[in-house]
Structure 1
Amino acid sequence: MIYIEYSFSISPKQPATDILIAELGEKGFESFIKSEIGLLAYILKSEWEEDILNDVFILKNPDFQISWSHKEIPQQNWNAEWEKNFHQIKVGDRCMVRAPFHRAENLQYDIIIEPKMSFGTGHHETTHMMLQQILDSNLEGKSVLDMGCGTGVLAILADMKGAKSVDAIDVDEWCFLNSKENVERNNRNHIKVYQGDSSLLVGKKYDVIIANINRNVLLEDISIYSDCLNPDGALFLSGFYLKDLDAISSKCSIHNLQFEKKLEKNNWVSVKYVN
């Protein structure tokens, strides 16, 4: 597969960088790396159009100076790019997310991720907060769904936390294959990875549902998540900004899901709802 790489120079960087990531995500861009000058963003060439940025609002905002260029990136160059730009991260003092080429540390949860073109390394605020939510939750013996699994990092941590079964689902083939690789790499035995969307959830039931997806998909699928939750179940949502929280909570309330806990980082939020 061939990807198109966009290199953005952004000043000031925040909140423009995060807004740009959100807008590009809705355009089909799959992966992002925050750089010294701004942002690198990647989209499959087959999904790309010359005018793809024409209606990206943040690029027209006079409060920010944003310039960009783009080029083709052959797939075989991608792993080298990750090795140059991907740094291990820690979530509190209990969890590390690292690539195979990083040295392990003596932490309770050591997750090895080969991210390739998938979203979910822990670097983005939403993934980091969802990892924190999982760390703070008792998943022992519970059935878990990781919807929009990306690299599978959240599913892997849920399994490490003692979940009896984990379904990891992503609509993107690359994410599906990458999640399967990462599950095997971390020797997790209770995770099943599927390619598809929320239509796969018909007739399924879970104790815990994790969904780190964009706002519009969440609003569309909250009713499905509610139907899939067992009594006393928990729904963890992220992938949206603080300004979208009222709309998300309102939709959850309609389906008898009550707000319990919120984490916030750089205007991104991660929220726990219970039924």
Structure 2
Amino acid sequence: MGSIYIEYDFKVSPLQPASEVLIAELGELGFESFVETETGVQAYIQKSDWDDTVLNNLFITKSPEFEISWVCKEIAQQNWNAEWEKSFQPIKVGSSCFVRAPFHEAEAVEFDIVIEPKMSFGTGHHETTYMMLSLILDTDIERKTVLDMGCGTGVLAILAKMKGASAVDAIDIEEWCYLNSLENVERNHCPDIKVEQGDSSLLAGRNFDIILANINRNILLKDIPVYASCMNPHGLLFLSGFYQEDLESITTECERSGFKYQRHIEKNNWVAAVYRIS
């Protein structure tokens, strides 16, 4: 039987930047998945992690600048999947990458990726995933060793392998992401991607040419020194999962760990940045 989730349907006015702030706050409270709607945000938290006081300390609800209301209900994972299948649309990243569900028709592109996300993060629809896919497409990954940290659905690891990476590791702390990534790497004929459940403590003694980390600001700031210890000379670090206003603190921590800022891209105030180790 699938996990039981609590779905919150938030009505938000004005939509921006309130929706982005709300998602960031909810992420800190243990909410795992978000769907932006025409009227606000739907957010999901495992029932086992939930109690009826979970929203008591939301700063944004106390702000006079925004009007936020919500209703909540229990939802089984299989119901989530059915709703997702009804609304999920394939996306194209650049001219060469197509991300779709198993029930969509393939397109004649170089990188046709089939993803069934279930409760995992990473379909390409969120700005951070889309930007990370774009950066991978623009990078020479042939014969490189790659780590996808916080892999979610495994979509970044899959694209890296399709682009010729010699070895790819994919790690996520959540069991459903780990299991979902296993399914997706098999579905995309990339069985040699090494998928593991855990956190950055698994990285001791490992080295990579490229590290991809699309997580969130706080985890990135904590783990950047760990990533630095795992980089091969002149290796590249791709980071996303944070806002434009967080770029300075992320860059400062990267520079403290020996990385040099290369460039960044933005989409709806979300940022994906590239750093190189010396």
Query: TM-score, normalised on structure 1?
Result: 0.98
Look up the match of 2:46: 44
Determine the C-alpha separation between the residues in 2 that align with 1:91 and 1:81: 24
Q: Is the 8 A contact 1:239 1:268 kept in 2?
A: yes
Look up the match of 1:84: 86
Q: Is the 8 A contact 2:154 2:185 kept in 1?
A: yes
Q: Is the 8 A contact 2:157 2:169 kept in 1?
A: yes
Q: CA 1:59/1:102 → structure 2, altered by over 3 Å: closer, same or farther? A: farther
2:232 to 230, 233, 257: 230
Look up the match of 1:242: 244
SS in 2 for 1:162: coil
- For structure 1, which segment, 124-133 or 21-30, has the greater mean C-alpha deviation from structure 2 after superposition? 21-30
1:75 deviates by: 2.1
- Amino acid aligned to 1:161: K
Look up the match of 1:202: 204
**Residue 107 in structure 1 maps to residue 109 in structure 2:** yes
- Amino acid aligned to 1:190: D
- For structure 1, which segment, 116-125 or 55-64, has the greater mean C-alpha deviation from structure 2 after superposition? 55-64
Q: Is the 8 A contact 2:211 2:227 kept in 1?
A: yes
SS in 1 for 2:222: helix
**Residue 265 in structure 1 maps to residue 246 in structure 2:** no
Percentage of pairs with the same residue: 64
Corresponding pairs, count: 275
1:134 deviates by: 0.4
Per-residue CA deviations over 1:215-265 (Å, capped at 9, x if unaligned) read: 110010000000000001000001111111111111111111000010111
- Amino acid aligned to 1:175: C
- Amino acid aligned to 2:158: I
Structure 2, unaligned runs of 5 or more: none
1:76 deviates by: 2.3
Per-residue CA deviations over 1:119-143 (Å, capped at 9, x if unaligned) read: 1111111111101110100000000
Look up the match of 1:30: 32
SS in 2 for 1:187: coil
Structure 1, unaligned runs of 5 or more: none
1:74 to 61, 64, 76: 76
1:62 deviates by: 2.0
Alpha-carbon RMSD: 1.0
Matches within 5 A, 1:69-218: 69-218=71-220
Per-residue CA deviations over 1:112-169 (Å, capped at 9, x if unaligned) read: 1101000111111111110111010000000000000001011011111110111000
- Amino acid aligned to 1:40: Q
1:60 deviates by: 2.2
Per-residue CA deviations over 1:170-205 (Å, capped at 9, x if unaligned) read: 000010000100111111133110000000000000
Q: Is the 8 A contact 1:141 1:163 kept in 2?
A: yes
Q: Is the 8 A contact 1:219 1:251 kept in 2?
A: yes
Q: Is the 8 A contact 1:31 1:118 kept in 2?
A: yes
- Amino acid aligned to 1:222: I
SS in 1 for 2:72: strand
- For structure 1, which segment, 7-16 or 157-166, has the greater mean C-alpha deviation from structure 2 after superposition? 7-16
SS in 1 for 2:236: strand
